[in-house]
Structure 1
Amino acid sequence: MERWVRVQNERDRQVLAWLRGQVGDAAIIAAAQSCAGPGIKPYLSAICRALHVTPPRYAAIRTGAGEVGERHLVSIYQILRGPRSAAHAGR
C-alpha cells in the first residue's frame, strides 16, 4: 500500500491501517490516483479528504528521548514549586 501513499512515520502507518479497515484498499488506491501528481505519492491527509473521512487521533508514540525530557520537566516543576510550597506552609 505504501507504493500508492506517502507514509513518513508510525502515525501514518496507524492511520493507513485504520483507513484500510474503513474503506478498503481499492478505495485508497483510487483516491491516491486521483490526488497524485506525476511521480508524486499523495499524503494520507489528502487521501482522507478525498474519501471524506477523518482519522482518529492516536496517542503520540513515546521514544526514549521523550521520556528523558519528561523526567527533566518533572524535576524542573518540583524545583519551581519547592520555595512556593514552603512559603505557603508558614502562613
Structure 2
Amino acid sequence: MEHLIRVQNDYDRQVLAWLRRRIGDAALQSAVDRLADPRKPYLSTICRSLGIRPPSRRQFAAETARIHRTVGDSYLARIREILAKAAAHEPPRR
C-alpha cells in the first residue's frame, strides 16, 4: 500500500497497518481512488475522507510496550522452567 499512500515515518507505518486491519485493503484502495489526486495522498487525508480517527502515538506506544512485556514474560517463564528442570536433575552438593 505504500506505493499508493504517502508514508513518511514510523507512526505513518503504524497507522497504515492499523487502517489496513480495520477496513481492509479493498476499502483503502477505494478511498485512495476517490481522492483522485495524481500525487500520493497523506494518511491523514485518507482518514479524514473516511471519517476515521487513528490511534495516537501514545496509544501505539502503549500497545507496543504491552506486547514487549508479554513476550518478555513468556521468555522468563521458559527460563524458569529450564532452570527448575536443571535443579531437579542436579546431584546433591556436599
TM-score range, shorter chain: 0.5 to 0.7
Runs of 4+ in 1 over 6 A off after TM superposition: none
- 5+ residue gaps, structure 1, are 62-91
The answer to which structure has the higher helix fraction is 2
1:49 match: secondary structure: helix
Q: Write the deviation string for residues 13-52 of structure 1: whole angstroms up to 9, x where unpaired.
A: 00001001110011111111112412x0000001101111
What are the residue-to-residue correspondences of 1:77-88 with 2, within 5 Å?
Answer: none
1:5 match: secondary structure: coil
Tell me which residue corresponds to 1:72.
none
2:28 match: secondary structure: helix
Matched residues in 2 for 1:7 and 1:36: separation?
18
Q: Are positions 1:45 and 2:44 aligned together?
A: yes
- 5+ residue gaps, structure 2, are 62-94
Aligned partners of 1:36 and 1:42 also within 8 Å: no
Tell me which residue corresponds to 2:35.
35
RMSD: 1.7
Count of residue pairs the alignment pairs up:
60
TM-score with structure 1 setting the length: 0.60
1:37 match: secondary structure: coil
Q: Write the deviation string for residues 39-91 of structure 1: whole angstroms up to 9, x where unpaired.
A: x0000001101111100002398xxxxxxxxxxxxxxxxxxxxxxxxxxxxxx
Q: Are positions 1:25 and 2:15 aligned together?
A: no
Over the matched positions of the two proteins, sequence identity in percent amounts to 55
